[in-house]
């Protein structure tokens, strides 16, 4: 793998997406004539500076090899049980020729705006600090179970999005150590935070949502149709 530009994109795609209630893993559901994963890979392939994309897939994946994608630019690695395991597997696969930076993006976020990714890369590389796309929380947030226990001030609350961009060595070390100690890692930023590192918040579009449930598909299909029309 050629890492001459110092930036490799990693896409964890080994999950089955059980909440989607589909026979297919959600990343292989078709919207606008392409699978969700194809839309995601197409976005990443158009990001300046990203020449290589590494997709972590399940050992039981029967679908990826059928996708009509650029095999010179996109390669695969066997993922793990959890997202963090898959990302670490991809990082380990890059160890012989490590890039300077890694850009980790959810397979099920095909609506990400390329301009937002360029902004994330520019801010983080200029400052030498990792960061994530994030959206300010706009709704009132309640904490509780059956009844409200607390209204949470939202002034400094952000919804974490992807991509998330970090120096390769920093992220690999943080993920490896956190998993070895049994720490619950929900995204790359949480591993960096646990290790004591800084994570810059870079505001991104709120329509960069993760397709998770059947209800998300209709909205994603509509928004993708708009994006396709704009791109053409």
pLDDT tens track for 170-218: 999 999 999 999 999 999 999 999 999 999 999 999 999 999 989 999 9
Whether residue 14 is contained in a domain is answered as: yes
pLDDT in tens, 42-60: 999 999 999 899 999 999 9
Higher per-residue confidence, 84 vs 15: 84
What are the helix (H) ranges across the chain? 36-45, 83-93, 114-127, 168-180, 188-194, 214-231
CATH number for the domain that contains residue 222: 3.90.550.10
- Note the residue count of the chain: 232
Residue 63 to residue 203: CA distance in whole angstroms: 34
**Cβ-proximal residues to 102 (8 Å cutoff; 6+ apart), any chain:** 7, 8, 9, 10, 91, 94, 165, 166, 167, 168, 171
Instruction: Look up the pTM and report it.
Output: 0.94
Mean pLDDT of 65-69: 95
Q: Smallest Cα–Cα separation from 107: which of 154, 162, 158?
A: 162
pLDDT in tens, 209-223: 999 989 999 999 999
- Res. 4: pLDDT tops 50: no
User: Which two three-digit tokens encode residue 24?
Assistant: 């297919």
pLDDT of residue 1: 40
Domain containing residue 191: 7-231
Whether residue 1 is contained in a domain is answered as: no
pLDDT of residue 3: 44
pLDDT of residue 15: 82
- Res. 17: pLDDT tops 80: no
DSSP labels, 40-105: HHHHHHTSTT--EEEEEE-TT--SGGGS---TTTEEEEE--SSHHHHHHHHHHHTTTS--SEEEE-
Whether residue 32 is contained in a domain is answered as: yes
* Mean confidence (pLDDT) of the chain: 93
Whether residue 122 is contained in a domain is answered as: yes
Number of domains in the chain: 1
pLDDT of residue 76: 98
Whether residue 124 is contained in a domain is answered as: yes
Whether residue 2 is contained in a domain is answered as: no
Rounded to a whole number, what is the distance in angstroms from the first to the last CA of the chain?
A: 31
pLDDT in tens, 90-132: 999 999 999 999 999 999 999 999 999 999 999 999 999 999 9
Say whether 36 sits in a helix, a strand or coil. Answer: helix
pLDDT in tens, 131-144: 999 999 999 999 99
């Amino acid at each position: 793998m050629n890492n001459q530009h110092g930036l490799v994109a990693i896409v964890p795609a080994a999950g089955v997406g059980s909440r989607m209630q589909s026979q297919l893993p959600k990343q292989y559901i078709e919207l606008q004539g392409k699978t969700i994963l194809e839309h995601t890979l197409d976005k990443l392939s158009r990001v300046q500076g990203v020449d290589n994309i590494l997709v972590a897939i399940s050992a039981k994946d029967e679908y990826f090899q059928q996708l009509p994608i650029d095999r010179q630019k996109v390669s695969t690695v066997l993922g793990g049980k959890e997202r963090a395991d898959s990302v670490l597997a991809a990082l380990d696969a890059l160890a012989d020729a490590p890039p300077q930076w890694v850009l980790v993006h959810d397979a099920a976020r095909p609506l990400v705006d390329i301009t937002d990714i360029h902004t994330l890369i520019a801010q983080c590389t200029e400052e030498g600090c990792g960061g994530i796309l994030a959206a300010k929380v706009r709704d009132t947030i309640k904490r509780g179970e059956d009844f409200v226990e607390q209204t949470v001030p939202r002034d400094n609350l952000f919804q974490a999005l992807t991509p998330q961009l970090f120096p390769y060595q920093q992220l690999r070390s943080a993920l490896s150590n956190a998993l070895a100690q049994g720490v619950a890692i929900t995204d790359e930023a949480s591993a960096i935070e646990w290790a004591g590192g800084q994570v810059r918040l870079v505001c991104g579009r709120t329509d960069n949502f993760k397709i998770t449930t059947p209800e998300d598909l209709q909205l994603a299909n509509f928004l993708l149709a708009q994006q396709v029309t704009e791109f053409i």
